[in-house]
Amino acid sequence: MDFLDKKAIYLQIVDYVCEKILLGQWPPGDRIPSVRDLGVELEVNPNTVMRTYDFLQQKDIIYNKRGIGFFAADEAAERIKSYRKEQFLETELPYFFRNVYLLNISLEEIEERYKAFIETEFDATKID
């Protein structure tokens, strides 16, 4: 995994784990990789993965069965979407609005490009 300089590594791993859950690769109720296994896979210190898992437990996205391992929570997908939406609205959207204003981009152009993006990247019938 290639890490970015602008964001803490454990938070980038949070995004990675959340993506695996949202894509159904780590379904709710299923065991997810151990701290050591994920550390080896991503080539990071197990303490960094543990920090990631602690963070995700606080958000009720994963849970720990003592002596068995970590599991994706039943409501993980909904909690991830809620967490990511909150993060987007607080951090990314203000930056986006600033650029829209400074570059004098019309809302019509944004809407047109958004629709084109959805058509090319996603099946629009599957978007919630």
Q: What is the mean pLDDT of each run of 10 residues along the chain (128 residues)?
A: 84 95 94 96 96 97 95 96 94 94 96 92 61
Q: What is the pLDDT of residue 124?
A: 52
Q: How far apart, in whole angstroms, are the C-alpha atoms of residue 28 and residue 124?
A: 24
If asked whether residues 13 and 72 sit together in one domain, one would say yes
Enter the tokens of residue 28: 């709710």
Q: What is the pTM of this model?
A: 0.78
Q: Any idea what the CATH number is for the domain that residue 69 is in?
A: 1.10.10.10
Distances from the Cα of 120 to the Cαs of 35, 114, 115, 116, 117, in angstroms? Answer: 37, 10, 9, 6, 5
- Do 71 and 91 lie in one domain? The reply is no
Residues 118, 93, single domain; the answer is yes
The confidence score (pLDDT) of residue 107 equals: 94
> What residue ranges in 2-112 does DSSP mark as E strands?
62-65, 69-72
Distance CA 108, CA 50 (A): 45
Instruction: Name the domain boundary from 58, 76, 94.
Output: 76
Name the amino acid, one letter, at 39: G
Q: How many domains does the chain have?
A: 2
Three-state SS at 90: helix
User: Of 76, 99, 117, which marks where a domain is finished?
Assistant: 76
Residues 61, 20, single domain; the answer is yes
In a domain, 2, yes or no: no
Domain that includes residue 111, residue range: 77-126
